[in-house]
Structure formats: C-alpha cells, structure tokens
Amino acid sequence: MNMMKMKKGFIKAGAVLFMLATCGFRPLSAAPALQANRAAPAFSAVSLEGRQAGSSTLVGKAYIINFFASWCPPCRGEIPDMVSLQNQYARKGFTFIGVAVSDSEPAIRDFVKKNSISYPVVMGTDAIVSAFNGYVEGGIRAIPTSFVINSSGKITNVITGARSRADFEKLILHALSKPGTTKSSL
C-alpha cells in the first residue's frame, strides 16, 4: 500500500473514532460519577419558540435535560422515543428540555421541524453548559448526555450515550415518583 493510501486510511479511522467519542459511544459502565440527590443547577434559557425554558419555569416538574446535536447519530436515534415519551408524560408534570450544542440555530430549527420535536429546545450557551459541567466528573464530554431531575429539583441520574424508550421511561417514572425513593439503576 502506498503512503498516500495509508495516510487517508488513518485520517478516516481517526475521524470515525472522534465521532464515536463525541457522540456518546461509551460502555454503559463508564457512566460519569454523580453525587446523588444534588440540587439541579439554576439556568436561564429561551426556547426556539421564544418561551422561557429555564429552571425557574420547571419548579415542581420532573424533567430531563438532554444535550444533543443534529449531526450526532446516537442523538438522532433517541429523539423519536423522547418525542413519544414527551407526548405521553407531559400531562403528568414531565418534560424533556433539549440543549443543542455544536450546531447552528438554523440547522436546529430545521431538525426540530423535521423530527416533530414537541418539547422545548434551546441553543446551548456557555452558561448552560457550565451550569451542568460541575455535576459530572470531568464535565460533559460526549453527546448525548442527559441529566434527570425529579420534581423536588434534585438530579437523580446523569447518563451518557443514547438510551432506549424503555430506559427513558424508567427514568421518567422514577423522576415522577415521590421524593426520597432510591436512585434508578441505569
């Protein structure tokens, strides 16, 4: 094999590894360390629809903050289940909040429309990312990363990587349960 083909092969392999690392490809056992039952950080955000979607509007609600990007395959894979669960559990006091990172607002607006996303989506700012970075060892290092907050305003789980509908539903039900119950096993 000539040197040029080898170089192109290494570049392709490096690009694939980079994509897997930044899009949440991690063994489930490599979940970030979390101090259970810490109060969720205060954050302020405005959704793409122009509505407040910050922590002050979520008092008393269970929610999942999902850091994602439209170009991330694992992120795109879990969105349909999140939309379905949003529609199912919104009346019970639950919502997802999507935080778009490493993406342009026009790309995210198009993505939200194409995927019929029914929950608030905000553009990820340094302030929002910084607010949540302190809640996992080493900060947010991959997408998707989701923070599960119960109706008492406590973070009960941090999950890195895509999850199935069943996994998300288990997390939602736990977040909606009475405070003081044990942490979910995901």
Residue 14, pLDDT > 80, answer no
Of the candidate ranges 17-31, 112-126, 158-172, the one whose mean pLDDT is the lowest: 17-31
CA 89 to CA 82: how far, in whole Å? 10
pLDDT digits (tens, 9 = 90+) for 122-176: 999 999 999 999 888 888 999 999 999 999 999 999 999 999 999 999 999 999 9
Q: What percent of the chain has pLDDT over 70?
A: 76
Question: Which CATH entry fits the domain spanning 3-176: 3.40.50.2300, 3.40.30.10, 1.10.287.990, 3.40.1520.20?
Answer: 3.40.30.10
Both structure tokens of 90: 């919104």
Domain boundaries, the chain: 3-176
Answer whether residue 80 shows pLDDT above 60: yes
Q: Which two tokens stand for residue 58?
A: 């979520």
Contact 136, 26 (CB under 8 A): no
- Give the pLDDT band of residue 36 (cuts 50, 70, 90): low
Residue 34: the pLDDT is 54
| C-alpha distances in Å from residue 55, one per residue of 19, 65, 91, 181 | 31, 10, 19, 22
pLDDT above 60 for 15: no
Per-residue model confidence (pLDDT) at position 137: 81
As a whole number, the mean pLDDT across the chain is: 82
Cα separation, 79 vs 66, whole angstroms: 10
State yes or no: pLDDT of 78 exceeds 50. yes
- Residue 3: the pLDDT is 38
pLDDT attached to residue 12:
40
Q: Are strands 38-39 and 62-68 parallel, antiparallel or unpaired?
A: unpaired
Residue % of the chain over a pLDDT of 90: 69
